[in-house]
Amino acid sequence: MSFDAAAPLPGAPDPWAGSEMPPLRGGPPYLMTEMIAAEPAVAERVVRRLAAAGTEVIRHPAEKDASDSELALGVALERGADEVVMLGALGGGRLDHELANLLLLADPELPRRDLRIVRAGTTVRVLAGRASLELGCGPGSVVTLLPVGGNAQGVATRGLRYPLDGETLRVGRSRGLSNEVVEAPASVWLGAGTLLVIEIASNDGGEQ
């Protein structure tokens, strides 16, 4: 699957058209959270337009025990999706939601599918248990490995400027921060634990 997460959706309507609210930015796409916060009627109009075009809309009460992201991911997995790309999960003014979305990838109860969060040139995936991952970014790109839920053991890398060879990355420490791809494709191996693998593509490197 190949896509450009930074590109506007084809034919995306400007949701602020006809609104008295000034635009937040120069043009679409907009985060739904921005529209809801600024003018709920505009967000509702966009939802109706999407539904009229054949998009399935599943509504939930505002007061619920799971985030919209968690509910949407659950539906995708229940319907057999083997690859899920979450867009708009890192944005807006809610740091708590961003952190919750990142930790959602590391939920041990989720089936181990190809789950990722993408924002422009940044991709976040999870490596859990005894597993390996081939990175999609090219030379010059930044790679950060962050343990969650406990220490990550037996971490090894290939193709990174600062190699790891069976090391332990301790939760809360910055040992895995800001590595760099020097040879593609780079890879990460994990012996035990859970890692958030963050790739920030270089403008001069390969495509994500």
Output the domain CATH number for residue 146.
Answer: 2.60.120.320
Identify the domain containing residue 33 by its residue range. Answer: 1-57
- Counted domains in the chain: 2
Distance CA 160, CA 183 (A): 7
Q: Over 80: is that where the pLDDT of 29 sits? A: no
Residue 185: pLDDT band (50, 70, 90) is very high
What is the mean predicted confidence (pLDDT) over 186-202?
A: 94
What is the mean predicted confidence (pLDDT) over 172-193?
A: 95
Q: Over 70: is that where the pLDDT of 170 sits? A: yes
pLDDT tens per residue, range 62-119: 888 888 888 888 888 888 888 888 888 887 778 998 999 999 999 888 877 888 999 8
Judge whether 107 lies within some domain: no
pLDDT at 189: 96
pLDDT at 208: 38
Residue 17: pLDDT band (50, 70, 90) is low
Alpha-helix runs per DSSP H in 10-119? 32-38, 40-52, 68-78, 95-105
Judge whether 145 lies within some domain: yes
Q: State the Cα torsion 87-90-94-97 to the nearest 10°.
A: 70
pLDDT at 37: 52
Q: Over 50: is that where the pLDDT of 11 sits? A: no
* This prediction's pTM: 0.74
Judge whether 85 lies within some domain: no
In this structure, the answer to whether residues 46 and 125 fall within a common structural domain is no
Judge whether 204 lies within some domain: yes
Residue 128: pLDDT band (50, 70, 90) is very high
What is the mean predicted confidence (pLDDT) over 192-206?
A: 82
Instruction: State the average pLDDT for the chain.
Output: 80
Q: Over 80: is that where the pLDDT of 200 sits? A: yes
Judge whether 16 lies within some domain: yes
pLDDT at 194: 94
Judge whether 134 lies within some domain: yes
Residues 6+ apart with CB under 8 A from 67: 97, 100, 101, 104
Judge whether 100 lies within some domain: no
- Between 34 and 89, the higher pLDDT residue: 89
Of 30, 57, 84, which residue sits at a domain end? 57
In this structure, the answer to whether residues 124 and 200 fall within a common structural domain is yes
What is the mean predicted confidence (pLDDT) over 30-56?
A: 68
Of 31, 57, 83, which residue sits at a domain end? 57
Is residue 149 a contact partner of residue 104, using CB atoms and an 8 Å limit? no
Judge whether 90 lies within some domain: no
- Between 124 and 88, the higher pLDDT residue: 124
